[in-house]
Amino acid sequence: MAEKLALVGIGKIARDQHIPAIAGNPDWQLEAAVSRHAGVDGIDHFQTIDELLEKRPDITTVSLAIPPQPRFEYAAKALKAGKHVMLEKPPGQSLAECYALEALAREHGVTLFATWHSRYADSVPALKAFLAERTLKRLKITWKEDVRRWHPGQEWIWEPGGMGVFDPGINALSILTEVLPYPVHLTGATLEFPENRATPIAAGLTFADPVGAEMSADFDWRQEGPQTWDIDVETDRGAAKLSLGGEKLEIDGEPVIQGANHEYANLYVRMADLVKSGTSDVDLSPMIHVCDAFSLGRRVITDPFEF
């Protein structure tokens, strides 16, 4: 029997990704939406999470597709009500919030899934297998996109807790922490802040690799035209390039995998498995790198940004 699910936040990411992924998975039945401004045809609509929890106690799972700033309150209420909770990335606006939610899920015996959709791109497992059998020499992340295209008019990303360019950049870091056979840590960062914004529009990161590989990341939200979501690696036995955010993989210049956009469909498969097994998945390693970047980063003021 399909689990009854409520989707909180009916914005661009919900309509583009969450709703089609839920509709295509027989383990889920979308029963309700929570949003102050929008609904979904054919299902119950509520203005607040409190109204949802009061009027639809039969719903077992809540998926949160809202900005990180209000997410803790919504998630905490759902967990305390005995609901399984799925968190859009990043899982919160601080690490402390995420640890608190993890503890609440344990206390109430429910599933908490901190999702990293880019980890579920088609070519990520193959890159992980490639690196597991080789010694890494160099890794370079280039993650550049147009914020006006992907976040039109969304002011929350420029407010504290919104993370700025790390909203997409954390996707790259989620792949990095998935494919490497060992952990790495940040050694330095340069963060470019528009003079009128509270979060960065660009960032350059460097990492310490335990085997001595050169490792860096370049994030930028000002790229027009073709968008760039690449990870290039060199090893002792060949090179690989992950592109299109994880859909495509080349090894030594030859295409190996040309996937499609299955990330959110795979997330809901994973969530169903977690609920069935009574377990949680709360890996915060990508967010640790972001927090370290804000801690270690040298702040540079750049031109103001307006939508």
| pLDDT per position as a tens digit, 261-303 | 999 999 999 999 999 999 999 999 999 999 999 999 999 999 9
Banded pLDDT at 209 (limits 50, 70, 90): very high
What local confidence, expressed as pLDDT, does residue 181 receive?
96
For the chain, the domain total comes to: 2
- Interhelix angle 166-179/124-132, rounded to 10 degrees, is 40
- Domain span at residue 71? 3-114
pLDDT at 1 over 90: no
Q: Does one domain contain both 94 and 127? A: no
What local confidence, expressed as pLDDT, does residue 41 receive?
87
Q: Does one domain contain both 123 and 254? A: yes
- Note if 144 is an active site residue: no
Residue 130 domain flag: yes
| Catalytic residue chosen out of the listed positions 77, 83, 89, 248 | 89
Q: What does pTM read for this prediction?
A: 0.96
Q: Does one domain contain both 126 and 12? A: no
Q: Does one domain contain both 81 and 132? A: no
- If you count them, how many residues does the chain have? 307
- Of 89, 114, 139, the position where a domain reaches its end is 114
The rounded distance, in Å, linking the Cα atoms of 60 and 275 is 10
- Of 72, 88, 114, the position where a domain reaches its end is 114
**DSSP secondary-structure letter at 230?**
E
pLDDT in tens, 76-90: 999 999 999 999 999
* Residue percentage of the chain with pLDDT more than 70: 100
Residue 137 domain flag: yes
